[in-house]
Chains A and B, each alone.
Chain A
Amino acid sequence: MGIGPSTKETSLHHFRDPLLEVVAEDTDIDLMGILLVGTPDGNKEKMLVGTRAAVWAEAMRADGVIISSDGWGNSDVDYTNTCEQIGIRGIPVTGLNFSGTVAKFVVENDYLDGIVDINKSVDGTETNVVGENNMVRLDCLKAKALLKLKMRQKERQEGR
Chain B
Amino acid sequence: MADEVKDLRRLVIKAFHMTEVGWGEHNDITVDGQMTVSKEMIEKLAAEEEYLEKIDIQIIKPGDHDRWTNTIMDIIPISTKVLGRIGDGITHTITGVYVMLTGVDVNGKQCHEFGSSEGNLKEQLYLNRAGTPGDDDYIISFDVTLAAGMGQERPGPTAAHRACDKFIQSYRDKLKKFKGEKCTERHEYHDIVRPGKKRVLIIKQVAGQGAMYDTHFFADEPSGVEGGRSIIDMGNMPIMVTPNEYRDGIIRSMQ
Contacts and interface: CB of A to CB of B under 8 A. Distances in A.
- The size bracket of the interface on A is 35 or more
Contact of B243 (A31, A68, A129, A136): A31
B205 A69 contact: yes
B206 A70 contact: yes
Nearest to A126: B115
Given A11-B77, A27-B194, A39 B208 contact: yes
A70 B238 CA distance: 15
A115 interface: no
Given A15-B247, A30-B197, A70 B204 contact: yes
B240 interface: yes
B2 interface: no
Contacts of A36: 203-204, 206, 215, 217, 231, 238-241, 251
A126 B255 CA distance: 17
A60 B189 CA distance: 23
Interface string A13-27: 111111111011001
A89 B122 CA distance: 46
27 contacts: A1-B213, A3-B209, A5-B124, A8-B255, A11-B77, A12-B76, A12-B131, A12-B132, A12-B133, A14-B131, A14-B249, A19-B202, A24-B243, A27-B197, A30-B195, A31-B200, A33-B240, A36-B231, A37-B237, A37-B239, A49-B236, A60-B201, A73-B114, A128-B119, A128-B124, A131-B126, A131-B131
Interface string A68-85: 111101110011001000
A70 B205 contact: yes
Contacts of B222: 15
Contact of B251 (A11, A19, A45, A71): A11
Interface of B: 71-72, 74-77, 79, 93, 98, 112-117, 119, 123-127, 129-133, 189, 193-210, 213, 215, 217, 222-223, 231-232, 234-243, 245-247, 249-255
A9 B241 CA distance: 18
Contacts of A122: none
B186 to A, nearest CB: 16
A55 to B, nearest CB: 9
B200 A63 contact: yes
B238 A56 contact: yes
Contact of B201 (A27, A38, A62): A62
A40 interface: yes
Contacts of A100: none
Contacts of B249: 11, 14-15
Given A15-B77, A35-B241, 6 more contacts: A10-B131, A14-B249, A34-B242, A45-B235, A70-B206, A130-B75
